[in-house]
Structure 1
């Protein structure tokens, strides 16, 4: 790490971490772990999720039109506009809180492409009762795993036509967030679990969600995007990533982009 301090063009983020370590007395090993975790989530999850969201928007013109209209409205309401002199807009947290359509598109993207494995340790003997009446005795010391991707995300009873991208799936007719989903006539509490569930739900989900929204928001502000081939097929998922988080595409796609001003 000492060598990094004398290199040219050091990442400002890495430099700040090193300064913080010295000023606050944080162990270097903890800083290394912290940076590794952020590198992992950005490269392993946030980046691929941004790829999928932009791809689905380009693949579905009605979705792109709806999200872009919302982005333009929020930008206008903030009193800002994109200028030709290169002035950058000031995207605030308050602006990102006013994008229910983008929120729904993000959640739909994660439903289709996030496939984490949720593991729990059994701390005492228990009986697991299933909705169909079956019961399973599970002894203390066992480990259980839930795979919500197949059990929930792609369940046609909870999400009709589950393999299709529907940008407004998580919106009510009045434009508010939809939270009521059903299976066998019963309300489903966990209808989407890209971040896990319960007390162990990903603590960085708010940061990651805002990071993803911010990137896509700015891309739509500054660029027009379109697939080079309008009939581009959705890339297959890299199944080796099942259980690790965001699924990666097995290939690139070709698209065009141009400045909007």
Structure 2
């Protein structure tokens, strides 16, 4: 705000700018945090694996958790040693992120589709790609695409999996929750760290369980398609208690 005032920007425009910052910092990360916790509660194996990783990292770094005490000092190094949580976050983004990517056509071109069809596109046209249906839920790239698989982005040795294929060819963009190319969201690393920190601390201090163990969410708010994180259309009831 100080910089904006120094540049002579009107107060009314500063207000608008701050509203944009509020939106980009909360509008999608909040729903993603909900979905990640829901998926972990819904899939006990995933919850056990992620909690086991959390406890292992705490032990490795000698962090003591005290009931009623200050929050543990969670560091970037600790988060970097959590490949299972990384995969669970990325799988949540694959299932829930539904952005619409718009591109301007800079020259006449022929666009070739995977099925052999060709489209002639003119300079000045605009194209839109919807990764949710084109990539995220393509069963050839992601088998059983509507199921949550917390280890989908892990190799057997726990390294990050980046090899996904379609029609026998390796796919360059196999998950695009933050867009792709030069217009990829500049806040993606910050958002990922927000999600990881939040879930890490929740699992350190609390036990979670769904009030209805077989709870299902088969529908989401379709008005969000093309805009960002999908929202549930109803609340989910769950219980929580302190672990320590």
TM-score, L = length of structure 1:
0.88
CA deviations on 1:83-116 (whole Å, 9 max, x unpaired) are: 1341220011111111100000001001100000
2:174 aligned with 1:191: yes
Q: Secondary structure at the match of 1:209?
A: helix
Q: Residues 1-261 of structure 1: matches in 2 within 5 Å?
A: 18=1, 25=7, 27=9, 28=11, 31-234=14-217, 236-261=219-244
List alignment gaps of at least 5 residues for structure 1.
1-17
**Worse overlay, 76-85 or 241-250:** 76-85
When residues 76 and 19 of structure 1 are mapped into structure 2, their CA distance, relative to the original with a 3 A threshold, is farther
**Worse overlay, 125-134 or 68-77:** 125-134
**In the TM superposition, what is the alpha-carbon distance from 1:233 to its structure 2 partner?**
1.2
- Alignment root-mean-square deviation, CA: 1.6
List alignment gaps of at least 5 residues for structure 2.
none
Asked whether the equivalents of residues 235 and 250 of structure 1 are also in contact (C-alpha less than 8 Å), the reply is: no
**In the TM superposition, what is the alpha-carbon distance from 1:44 to its structure 2 partner?**
2.1
**In the TM superposition, what is the alpha-carbon distance from 1:31 to its structure 2 partner?**
4.0
